Structures are given as C-alpha cells and as structure tokens.
C-alpha cells in the first residue's frame, strides 16, 4: 500500500469512526446511564469486533453481499429493530437508578452488534475496497486496515463514552436530566431513519 492510498484511507476512516452512528450513540447512551467504567466492556467489544469484521471482510466475506444483495436489507431491518428497542428503553432513562436487571451491553454483545450494523458493514466493505489489492500484498493490506481500525475504534469508543458521561453530569447540574432519555432516543431514531434514506 502506497502513502497516497493510506492517506486516503485515513481521510475516510477518521470521520467514519468519530461521527454519530449506531455504535457511538449506543456507547454514549450506555455511559450516560451506567457510567464510563461499566460501559468499558461494550466499548472494547465495538472496537475489537469491528476490527475483526474488517479482516474477515478483507478475506472474502464481503462478497456474500454481491451474491445475496437482499442481505443488506435484512441487516438494516435487524439493526433498526435493535435500535428502536434501545430508543424505547431510553425514554425511561433514570440516571443512577437502574432496576436490578438492567446492565450495559457485554463485550460479546458489543462485538456481535457489528454484524447487524449497516454503518459497520458499509465502512468495512469500503475500507477493504479502498486499500486491499490483489496479489501477495493482499494480506499485508488486510492486516494494516484491521490494525488501523482497531486503533481508531480504541480512540473513538472512549471519546463517545466520555461525552455521554459528561452530558449526564451537565444535565444533572442544570436540572435537565429528565430530558436526557428523550434526546438520546431521538438521536437513535434519527440514525435508524438515515439507514433507509
């Protein structure tokens, strides 16, 4: 991979990781509700899960979409159901007053969500198509893309988690805490709408 290709990849990857999307909104909501520390396994699952997904797409899994184009819509619907459920639960957000059964997503749940996340699929396929060429250097390209995605995910996840925790503290201090669930739910529903545009 030459320097120009790598620079183009970074120029696409950085905004992809740091702009709002299902992963980032879920991490922000979880951190606001459960705190930064309890959301760490979820954030680690997102970061590692996406990097693994990119490597597997690079190894050929992305071609499944070419063979079965209807799978993209199935993934969008599954992700929409998951996110609309999240939005529903956020409407009843009670900071630091969770019921006994409530907990943040686990590491495996965070990693597993990547497989139904349309933004993750779009990014993974785009990154691989942009960087990974044919021939013997293919595996080096896949390794580089996977490693960069792991680093960027490791930076992006805690950034959004920190934002969620700070937002909760600000709203608590200003008396707007009761509106946090509504704001988060609206953001999550907006991300679902964007899937289908």
In which domain, by residue range, is 39 found? 3-195
Euclidean distance between CA atoms 172 and 85, whole angstroms: 25
Q: How confident is the model at residue 96 (pLDDT cuts 50, 70, 90)?
A: low
Residue 63: both structure tokens together: 């071609």
Query: Residue 18: how many CB atoms within 10 A of its CB?
Result: 14
Average pLDDT score over residue span 51-66: 83
3-class SS of residue 29: helix
Residue 11: both structure tokens together: 């120029």
Q: Which pTM value belongs to this model?
A: 0.79
Residue 136: both structure tokens together: 């013997």
Write out pLDDT tens, residues 66-94: 677 787 778 778 777 877 877 777 676 55
- Please tell me which residue, 96 or 137, carries the higher pLDDT value: 137
Question: Do residues 33 and 96 lie in contact, with contact meaning Cβ atoms separated by under 8 Å?
Answer: no
What value, to the nearest 5°, has the Cα angle with vertex 125 and ends 6 and 134?
Answer: 60
Domains contained in the chain, number: 1
Write out pLDDT tens, residues 152-185: 999 999 999 999 888 878 777 776 666 767 777 7
pLDDT for the residue 192? 73
* 102 has a pLDDT exceeding 60: yes
What percentage of the chain carries pLDDT values higher than 70? 84
* 64 has a pLDDT exceeding 90: no
pLDDT for the residue 92? 64
């Amino acid at each position: 991979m030459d320097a120009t290709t790598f620079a183009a990849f970074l120029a696409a990857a950085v905004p992809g990781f740091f702009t709002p999307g299902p992963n980032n909104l879920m991490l922000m909501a979880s951190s606001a509700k459960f705190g930064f520390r309890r959301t760490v396994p979820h954030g680690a699952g997102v970061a590692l899960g996406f990097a693994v997904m990119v490597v597997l797409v690079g190894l050929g899994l992305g071609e499944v979409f070419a063979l079965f184009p209807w799978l993209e819509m199935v993934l969008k619907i599954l992700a929409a159901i998951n996110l609309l459920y999240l939005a529903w639960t956020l409407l009843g957000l009670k900071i630091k007053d969770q019921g006994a059964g409530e907990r943040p997503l686990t590491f495996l749940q965070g990693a597993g969500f990547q497989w139904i996340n349309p933004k993750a699929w779009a990014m993974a396929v785009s990154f691989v198509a942009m960087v990974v060429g044919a021939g013997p250097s293919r595996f080096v390209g896949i390794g580089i893309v996977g490693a960069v995605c792991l680093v960027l995910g490791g930076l992006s996840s805690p950034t959004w988690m920190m934002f969620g925790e700070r937002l909760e503290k600000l709203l608590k201090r200003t008396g707007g805490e009761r509106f946090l669930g509504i704001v988060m739910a609206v953001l999550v529903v907006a991300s679902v709408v964007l899937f289908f545009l």
